[in-house]
Structure 1
């Protein structure tokens, strides 16, 4: 222990709030925290802190909106890439393979200093991570952490290790000059330092390999250099995996031993204990099909084995879950990221007893996949305001009007709520007896409780906004025209797609749509073929649903791999689940014929045909076709007519809410 200031403080029970543990102040090293919530780095996709002034201001605005009014006490929001030292001309590959490093930016001290001042003025402390990914190209040995990536690494020699230690020292000095409150050494998630720590990737036979003391030597040398640079003026911690997921990696018991060894150095003030890799099962950004705080017990075991404060991050997706983790003694501080993305005022609403107003995160990871897989602008599926904080509060309409929204799916609900918030008088007509559209089918898939909560939240939101919701109202051109609204927005969704080019696709007793399967309105036999003509989650979702119920499932994709639009932070976990249940995948094959005795396939590229044996049922996960009939009938007959959501072109929840946000903004003018 460095001093008594570093000793963990107990989390008090009781108090004047429904979340006494969550809102109890504490101290970690020199950092005083007003509550027990840390916001780990997650804003790089929202606004580039290292980009133009305009890009940086978007980042600033996001964090201001989250930290103000008693938000998270601790912003770990400054991502810190250490310079990647390379020979001239070498070009690293992949995500995270920056060469210059953020700490070497000429404006680093000035820009981060401004950010720190803003966060301090709002009552939050700010830390940065020191990160450098393994294998791009540097590594302790030739053994890589995954067979998914086959670029061969450069094995560091001892002189190069010493040079990197000095690079970390320089980075720490820059962080100190910028006024940051602390530094978190990244020792996990495929970081180079984790590769040295891991017995799987570290096969060295010198002073940096073999025993735990040797494997941790590089990290301890970095910690020593950083501590020498910052003294006691800043907190210093380590973020590390509680265990490694790959065979040959260290176990949970080894993780406790690692934590105890790091504590024994007297160099660190806190331990940030997490689970996952950037690509495996689980990912360190766990999607919806893991339980909330699933690994908190492991963090608790570690906490009981050390004296340092323990931070735990990992699918802590609500204030109730956060409070429970703290109350159970599994952490001293909890990390929350996507819950803050979904609702920036989550802590303020919890403190004020307005739990029903908290916008729930659905855990679909579109906030990650859009930016890093599809190269689209950042977007939160449930909160289209996120990333647009720089525009200020939502404004009232210059000329309030009467607005009709036709269709109560995600696009229609979001548009109705936003236009009502703008001051318009709004009606929402839905053809069925419930709001939600196709999401009503999705909620029946495994682990989709949060989607159900999101729909309930939207219904409360519409009621509170004063939207008149009319159910069982199938709009026609005549009924819309007779109602004489100033603005009509058509969000009638999509119809299930049955690919006409597949012979035998119309056998209704045998071939079923994914929506009917998830709703449970059709009987599905034991052996099921899933026709996957959807680049996102639905084919995997229905395979999960059926295999959980004991069906033998085969999924046929025409693409070279599953779900091309799912990123590494979500795909691995789902594939691991399905593999464990024996789900069979076939790739680069189109289903061209469906019969009760055989399925005909055609290779995507060679066009060679083959056959599969009999299945009891076939499920079509083939997306939908836009249902724009009402919009087509009204064109030229309504002066202010709009179409959005799947009625324009079928996409996902995040596309629907973003289109609604954009249209609602236009209707304010």
Structure 2
């Protein structure tokens, strides 16, 4: 139990007169003195490459962290990802993340580069730790048993001799971390790490000294912890990040997780425990998207905290300072980990301390920050904050030649452009044809778990007012009214029209076939048995299925692709599919809907082109994307001094893409 005098003393917040006395109270973890109770877990690998030879990418990462840590930033930067060298036979090529075989600690510039990073963070008042990570199954594993039915590659089973080699590789990595001046090390025992595979009864089927009992399954981890502690001594903190439970059937339970933590604590090697939930692919993902409650599993961390004496860090959907304070005040953690909240707003803690909660830019939890880099292989992008990852460019610049700008369309692209250009010093008007801003984002607010999206739209409206944008609602722009208004620059962000695929026979039966937007807005009465035609590679078909099944409808989704939502990454897809299938939503793949009739639905196989039929449905919902509405842009060509188009008016896309477009155009207009 938590009984040590030092920890009980530290658990009492000193307070600072704010609404967040726990969040802003100092705390001691081993040799690390924290100025507040916030840790920023590793996440900057998506923002810039700290390990390559491209110096601008390195500086981009440094600039990101400087902007987050300055002032009232997180006390603890856990942001140095530490991949341990993957020891392989000559010529063997792992796949995916496992393809990073050299290990960061083996880079010739590791000590110099990380040493410089540590110095900068120390100067700003933060401590810095690194993780030691080594992925399981690519190819190394304790036994042939896989961790998920989604992956069928066969591993290489480690011998005791090879285990000893890896222990020494961890030792070397720790020595490099010590030389770089880091404040601590966090051993990765979770999220499909090799050490978790040894800990788990699901993946560890060994019968030697490294399998069977908890002591045996933990032997590899304890040997690594011992080697690391021998290398770093008592001047650096040492902890583990581990799953409180495993999500796959056959994995360990919460009770098992607490027992693992207690056993590791009993070794006397640790200064802290970092508790998390989730897997890389499942329900939930370890990077939980918006359709989970904030801090949904904090009470499990609380059970752990009451069962051990070590400080406990909890990370998982801590998406606001209010949530962070509650987790701490409820006694569920000593420190909270926040990553995406810092990506969305690097000044979140400073604004909280100053009482400016309404100014905090909310994270919407769509995981585009992860998906773009690791799934789409595109540059980093935050859906709500296009400034993030561009800190290297310095503060947002003022326009060299301020002008009068008209933005037509109050959807996400138009709102972002209007705010950015006004913040650059331009005089800006925003014309919106309806009585509400938000465009197509507003159509999804009735779907489950969209509270953060509603907060984001409210935040954007406050931002427009603060920036001095003149917003004219119920103002439908025409080529004549725009041309006569005499603006120096016109940007058309008129969005997209709902798409009814003309190639589907019977698609125009309005009394029976509905567009997704009308369904989500509640403009139509949908029958009990609903067919969703999915011609959209992202979230919308799943969102409308979530909305309808949550209201008790029987839903079937037909996809022409081999699987659902091919543009979604594994960090978001699994949880949504679990939600829908648990409600009985039926999925059909590799089938094109080619005809809609009241008594039958005609389908055709995507590849064989064989035709077949489904039975009758009460309603058909088209989740088929949109067609760009660029008519005003075309009509304005040659009639205004400078004309631009952006957002769905150019080509329908996602929130992160249109806010980035707005950012790029706003930078051009600064010249």
Q: Is the structural similarity TM-score above 0.5?
A: yes
Aligned to 1:602: 604
- Where 1:474 maps in the other structure, the secondary structure is coil
Structure 2 Cα separation of the partners of residues 31 and 140 of structure 1: 34
Q: Tell me if the contact between 1:137 and 1:154 (Cα under 8 Å) persists in the aligned partners.
A: yes
Per-residue deviation at 1:11?
3.6
Equivalences for residues 340-355 of structure 1 within 5 A: 340-355=342-357
Structure 1 Cα separation of the partners of residues 101 and 650 of structure 2: 42
User: Is 1:40 aligned with 2:41?
Assistant: yes
Per-residue deviation at 1:12?
1.8
Aligned to 1:304: 306
Aligned to 1:661: 663
Aligned to 2:197: 195
Choose from 154, 157, 163 the match for 2:156: 154
Per-residue deviation at 1:267?
0.2
Aligned to 1:249: 251
Structure 2 Cα separation of the partners of residues 70 and 180 of structure 1: 21
Distance 1:112 1:4, change over 3 A: farther
Choose from 459, 467, 474 the match for 2:461: 459
Equivalences for residues 14-25 of structure 1 within 5 A: 14-25=15-26
Aligned to 2:564: 562
Equivalences for residues 104-253 of structure 1 within 5 A: 104-253=106-255
Structure 1 Cα separation of the partners of residues 7 and 268 of structure 2: 10
CA RMSD of aligned residues (A): 1.2
Q: Tell me if the contact between 1:313 and 1:335 (Cα under 8 Å) persists in the aligned partners.
A: yes
Aligned to 1:619: 621
Equivalences for residues 366-385 of structure 1 within 5 A: 366-385=368-387
Per-residue deviation at 1:96?
3.6
Distance 1:8 1:255, change over 3 A: farther
Aligned to 2:27: 26
Count, aligned residues: 669
Per-residue deviation at 1:9?
2.1
Residues 305-349 of structure 1, C-alpha deviations (whole Å, 9 max, x = no match): 000000000000000000000000000000000000000000000
Aligned to 1:10: 11
Per-residue deviation at 1:98?
1.3
Per-residue deviation at 1:281?
0.6
Residues 136-179 of structure 1, C-alpha deviations (whole Å, 9 max, x = no match): 00000000100111110000010000000000000000000000
5+ residue gaps, structure 1, are none
Q: Tell me if the contact between 1:6 and 1:269 (Cα under 8 Å) persists in the aligned partners.
A: no
Aligned to 2:432: 430
Deviates more, 1:552-561 or 1:95-104: 95-104
Aligned to 1:319: 321
Structure 2 Cα separation of the partners of residues 15 and 177 of structure 1: 36
Structure 2 Cα separation of the partners of residues 324 and 456 of structure 1: 23
Residues 538-591 of structure 1, C-alpha deviations (whole Å, 9 max, x = no match): 000100110011000000000110001100000000001111001100001100
Structure 2 Cα separation of the partners of residues 561 and 5 of structure 1: 53
Equivalences for residues 250-649 of structure 1 within 5 A: 250-649=252-651
Q: Tell me if the contact between 1:525 and 1:616 (Cα under 8 Å) persists in the aligned partners.
A: yes
Q: Tell me if the contact between 1:489 and 1:643 (Cα under 8 Å) persists in the aligned partners.
A: yes
- Where 2:169 maps in the other structure, the secondary structure is helix
- List structure 1 segments (4+ residues) > 4 angstroms apart after TM superposition: 1-8
Structure 2 Cα separation of the partners of residues 177 and 547 of structure 1: 56
- Where 2:46 maps in the other structure, the secondary structure is coil
Structure 1 Cα separation of the partners of residues 46 and 626 of structure 2: 30
TM-score by length of 1: 0.99
Q: Tell me if the contact between 1:9 and 1:309 (Cα under 8 Å) persists in the aligned partners.
A: no
Q: Tell me if the contact between 2:504 and 2:594 (Cα under 8 Å) persists in the aligned partners.
A: yes
Q: Tell me if the contact between 2:15 and 2:25 (Cα under 8 Å) persists in the aligned partners.
A: no
Residues 284-321 of structure 1, C-alpha deviations (whole Å, 9 max, x = no match): 00000000000000000000000000000000000000
Structure 1 Cα separation of the partners of residues 90 and 505 of structure 2: 58
Per-residue deviation at 1:6?
7.0
Q: Tell me if the contact between 1:594 and 1:600 (Cα under 8 Å) persists in the aligned partners.
A: yes
Aligned to 1:69: 71
5+ residue gaps, structure 2, are none
Per-residue deviation at 1:97?
3.2
TM-score by length of 2: 0.99
Q: Tell me if the contact between 1:38 and 1:74 (Cα under 8 Å) persists in the aligned partners.
A: yes
Structure 1 Cα separation of the partners of residues 405 and 556 of structure 2: 46
Structure 1 Cα separation of the partners of residues 491 and 100 of structure 2: 45
Q: Tell me if the contact between 2:344 and 2:382 (Cα under 8 Å) persists in the aligned partners.
A: yes
Residues 269-293 of structure 1, C-alpha deviations (whole Å, 9 max, x = no match): 0000000001111000000000000
Residues 9-39 of structure 1, C-alpha deviations (whole Å, 9 max, x = no match): 2142754111000000001000010000000
- Where 1:438 maps in the other structure, the secondary structure is helix
Structure 2 Cα separation of the partners of residues 11 and 336 of structure 1: 21
